[in-house]
Amino acid sequence: MEKWYEQVRMEPGNNYISSRIRLARNCADQCFPNRLNGQDSLRLIETMRTRLEDIGAVEGETMSSCLLSDLPDAARDAMRERRVLNAGILQKKTPVGLMLSESEDISLVLNGDDHFRLQVLAPNSHLYELWEKAGRLDDYINERFSYAFDDRYGYLTSFPTNVGTGMRANIVVHLPALSTGKQFPNLLASMNRFGVTVRGVYGTGKENYGALYDVSNAKTLGMSEREILDLVSKVAAQLNSEENQIRRKSLESHRLEREDEAFKSYGLLKYARKLSLRDALSYLSQVIAGITDGIVRTEEPACLYRLYLGVQSSNLIAGATMPVDREKLDAVRADYIREQLPELKEV
């Protein structure tokens, strides 16, 4: 079955990569996860898995279920790279459960930071549709487990920063032109005043290789879910618009340079025998920009975002048919890209 991240479309003017809604919830009649010992955690997870075994039917999807401790280290790390899990969850010593859809667009972490961490993902910009989807799944869980909720503060969570709606709304935007401007750091800093955080997905500042930026709400308390969705969508749309303006002007005055940059990047990806993660993401970013601007055309509709995930170290190791020596990852990464990179169409 096709994964959600294989459906990201690169279209003119559309620099949106992905959307995400994440909800943190806790049971009203249970201690928070960090207060539970191993045996109590395991019993609670089994109860959750039993009562929620048909949750996938809410959206017509099939969900698998497991304990994270039953998965190989490389598989868990690969899920972190694909944004199914966060780094903190992998450090937990007590049992943690996971329910995951085949396309990985729905995940439910059981007894992690909170009793429930529900996440729904979609390609490009579909934040409002995701909120409706998350709401249906949230209702299903709440029918089987009473949530810890306060009339004044809202949903009670392990981290104070999640109290209130318990919701994080995210949109990832590709900003290769805007992010190179001198005023870009100031632009990001100014976003904090409006209650929005913009972070590099693969690093910070000039060290964010791949030019992907995650836009999310900084507050969950004192705002409604709709207000959060509107705010994150508005900021992402502003960044997308400014990126398009810069790229449009660049094409008008420096088209040959832009073409050269895109085709050189494609050539390096297509023929290199060793590629660091930094170089792979940087070159992929230039090719994606070339496709969305109509400079580069591929034989078939292509989703290069999946390569952003596929070139990550643990995903390369997890997907290999033979054991991979980490010292040879640069060569494995180059092999992977040569196999997966689409052919170009004659212009």
pLDDT in the model for residue 187: 85
For residue 344, give the DSSP letter. Answer: B
pLDDT in the model for residue 222: 92
Contact 279, 273 (CB under 8 A): no
Residue 322 has pLDDT above 80, yes or no: no
* pLDDT-derived band at 192, boundaries 50, 70, 90: confident
**Rounded (10°) CA dihedral 91, 96, 101, 103:** 10
Average pLDDT over residues 248-264: 95
Task: Please choose, from the candidates 274, 256, 262, the residue with its C-alpha nearest in 3D space to the C-alpha of residue 304.
Answer: 262
Residue 143 has pLDDT above 70, yes or no: yes
pLDDT in the model for residue 11: 87
Q: What is the pLDDT of residues 147-156, one digit of tens each?
A: 999 999 999 9
Residue 10 has pLDDT above 90, yes or no: no
* pLDDT-derived band at 190, boundaries 50, 70, 90: confident
Q: What is the 3-state secondary structure (H, E, C) of 290-313?
A: HHHCCCCCECCCCCCHHHHHHCCH
Question: Which DSSP string corresponds to 172-207?
Answer: EEE-TTGGGSTTHHHHHHHHGGGTEEEEETTSSGGG
SS3 call for 244:
helix
Query: Would you state the structure tokens that stand for residue 187, as one six-digit string?
Result: 């632009």
Write out the H or E segment, with its range, that includes residue 108. strand 106-110
* pLDDT-derived band at 188, boundaries 50, 70, 90: confident
Cα 215 versus chain centre, distance: 11
Residue 206 has pLDDT above 70, yes or no: no
Q: How far is CA 226 from CA 169, 220, 229, 313, 316, in A?
A: 10, 11, 5, 37, 39
Average pLDDT over residues 270-296: 95
Residue 117 has pLDDT above 90, yes or no: yes
* pLDDT-derived band at 321, boundaries 50, 70, 90: confident
SS3 call for 345:
coil
Provide the mean pLDDT of the chain: 94
Q: Who's near 317: CB < 8 A, 6+ residues apart?
A: 74, 78, 324, 326, 329
pLDDT in the model for residue 314: 93
Residue 301 has pLDDT above 90, yes or no: no
Contact 111, 33 (CB under 8 A): yes
User: Which of 8-12, 35-39, 211-215 shows the highest mean pLDDT?
Assistant: 211-215
Facing residues of 15 across strands?
none
Using alpha carbons only, give the angle 167, 85, 83 rounded to the nearest 5 degrees.
Answer: 80
pLDDT in the model for residue 347: 60
Q: What is the pLDDT of residues 216-240, one digit of tens each?
A: 999 999 999 999 999 999 999 999 9
Residue 193 has pLDDT above 90, yes or no: no
Contact 270, 325 (CB under 8 A): no
Q: Which residue has the tokens 């998965």?
A: 71
Q: What is the pLDDT of residues 48-76, one digit of tens each?
A: 999 999 999 999 999 999 999 999 998 99
Long-range CB pairs of 54-60, under 8 A, 24+ apart, other chains included: 55/99, 55/108, 55/137, 55/140, 55/141, 56/99, 56/101, 56/106, 58/136, 58/137, 58/140, 59/101, 59/106, 59/133, 59/136, 59/137
Residue 202 has pLDDT above 70, yes or no: yes
